Chains A and B, each alone.
Chain A
Amino acid sequence: MGSQKRIAKELGELVQSPPDGITVELADESNLYDWKVHMEGPEGSPFEKGRFLIKLTLPTGYPFKPPSVSFATKIYHPNVTNDDKGSMCLGMLRPDEWKPSSKISAVLEFARQLLAEPMPDDAVEGRIAEQYKNDRKRYEEIARDWTRKHAT
Chain B
Amino acid sequence: MNIHEFLSAEADCDREGLVDLRSLDCVSHYDSHLMCPICHCAFVQPVRLQCDHVFCGKCLRSAITSFRSTDSDVFPCPSCRTPTYEVLTSVPRLLINMCDDIRVRCPFIPEGCQETLPRGHVQSHVDKYCAYRPVPCPDTSCDQMIRQKDLYPDQKCTHGLQQCPRCEEDVMEQDYEEHDKELCPSLETTCVDCGTTIVRREMKKHVEACPEVVSPCAASKYGCPVKIRRAEIGGHEQLCPLIAMSPYFEAQNTRLDLLELTVRHLQQRNEIFEDGLANIRSTLVDSAPAGMSGASGGNDHQTDNMDESVDRSSSVFSSNATTYLLSLHESLREEVDQLSHAITDLDARASMTILNESLRIKEDMAHTNAAVNSVRMQVQWLMNPRLHHGPRAGVRANTVGGNDTNRSPLAASSAPGPSSTAGPSMGPLRPRRPSDSGREGTKL
Q: Please give, as numbers and ranges, the residues of chain B lying within 8 Å of A99 by CB-CB distance.
A: 78-81
Q: CB-nearest residue of chain B relative to A64?
A: B66
The answer to whether B66 touches A61, judged by C-beta atoms less than 8 angstroms apart, is: yes
The answer to whether B39 touches A6, judged by C-beta atoms less than 8 angstroms apart, is: yes
The answer to whether B37 touches A2, judged by C-beta atoms less than 8 angstroms apart, is: no
Q: Determine how close the nearest CB of chain B comes to the CB of A56; give it in whole angstroms.
A: 17
- Which residues B26-69 have CB closer than 8 A to chain A? 37-41, 58-59, 62-63, 66-67
Among A2, A9, A61, A103: residue with most chain B CB under 10 A: A2
Question: CB-defined interface of A34-75 with B at 8 Å, one 1/0 digit per residue?
Answer: 000000000000000000000000000101110000000000
* Cα–Cα distance between A45 and B12 once the two chains are bound (Å): 55
Contact status of A2 and B62, CB under 8 A, knowing A9-B40, A63-B38: yes
The answer to whether A100 touches B37, judged by C-beta atoms less than 8 angstroms apart, is: yes
Question: Which range holds the interface residue count of chain B?
Answer: 10 to 19
Across chains A and B, the number of contacting residue pairs, with CB separation under 8 Å, is 38
Among A9, A10, A65, A101: residue with most chain B CB under 10 A: A101
Question: CB-defined interface of A1-21 with B at 8 Å, one 1/0 digit per residue?
Answer: 010011001100000000000
Which single member of B41, B66, B80 contacts A5 (CB below 8 Å)?
Answer: B41
The answer to whether B62 touches A64, judged by C-beta atoms less than 8 angstroms apart, is: yes
* Cα–Cα distance between A26 and B81 once the two chains are bound (Å): 31
Q: Please give, as numbers and ranges, the residues of chain A lying within 8 Å of B329 by CB-CB distance.
A: none
The answer, yes or no, to whether B389 is at the interface (CB within 8 Å) is no
The answer, yes or no, to whether B196 is at the interface (CB within 8 Å) is no
Q: CB-nearest residue of chain B relative to A102?
A: B37
Q: CB-nearest residue of chain B relative to A5?
A: B22
Which single member of A9, A61, A100 contacts B78 (CB below 8 Å)?
Answer: A100
Q: Determine how close the nearest CB of chain A comes to the CB of B425; give it in whole angstroms.
A: 108
Which single member of A5, A6, A10, A100 contacts B63 (CB below 8 Å)?
Answer: A100
* Cα–Cα distance between A2 and B60 once the two chains are bound (Å): 12
The answer, yes or no, to whether B353 is at the interface (CB within 8 Å) is no
The answer to whether A64 touches B40, judged by C-beta atoms less than 8 angstroms apart, is: no
Question: CB-defined interface of A83-121 with B at 8 Å, one 1/0 digit per residue?
Answer: 000000000000000011101000000000000000000
Q: CB-nearest residue of chain A relative to B37?
A: A101
The answer to whether A10 touches B40, judged by C-beta atoms less than 8 angstroms apart, is: yes
* Cα–Cα distance between A64 and B38 once the two chains are bound (Å): 8
Q: CB-nearest residue of chain B relative to A65?
A: B66
* Cα–Cα distance between A10 and B59 once the two chains are bound (Å): 17
The answer, yes or no, to whether B413 is at the interface (CB within 8 Å) is no
Which single member of B22, B67, B78 contacts A2 (CB below 8 Å)?
Answer: B22
Q: Please give, as numbers and ranges, the residues of chain B lying within 8 Å of A6 by CB-CB distance.
A: 38-41
Q: CB-nearest residue of chain A relative to B66?
A: A64
Q: Please give, as numbers and ranges, the residues of chain A lying within 8 Å of B23 by CB-CB distance.
A: 5
Q: Please give, as numbers and ranges, the residues of chain B lying within 8 Å of A61 by CB-CB distance.
A: 66
Which single member of B22, B41, B63 contacts A64 (CB below 8 Å)?
Answer: B63
Q: CB-nearest residue of chain A relative to B23?
A: A5
The answer to whether B39 touches A64, judged by C-beta atoms less than 8 angstroms apart, is: no
The answer to whether B39 touches A101, judged by C-beta atoms less than 8 angstroms apart, is: no
Q: Please give, as numbers and ranges, the residues of chain A lying within 8 Å of B66 by CB-CB distance.
A: 61, 64-65
Which single member of B22, B38, B41, B58 contacts A101 (CB below 8 Å)?
Answer: B38
Q: Please give, as numbers and ranges, the residues of chain A lying within 8 Å of B37 by CB-CB distance.
A: 100-101
Q: Determine how close the nearest CB of chain A comes to the CB of B35; give it in whole angstroms.
A: 9
The 21 sampled A-B contact pairs (Cβ below 8 Å) are A2-B22, A5-B22, A5-B40, A5-B41, A6-B38, A9-B40, A9-B41, A10-B40, A61-B66, A63-B38, A64-B62, A64-B66, A65-B66, A99-B78, A99-B79, A99-B81, A100-B37, A100-B63, A101-B78, A101-B79, A103-B40
Q: Contacts A61-B66, A99-B79, A101-B38 given; 13 further ones with Cβ under 8 A?
A: A2-B38, A2-B39, A5-B39, A6-B39, A6-B40, A9-B41, A63-B38, A64-B67, A65-B66, A99-B80, A100-B78, A101-B79, A103-B40
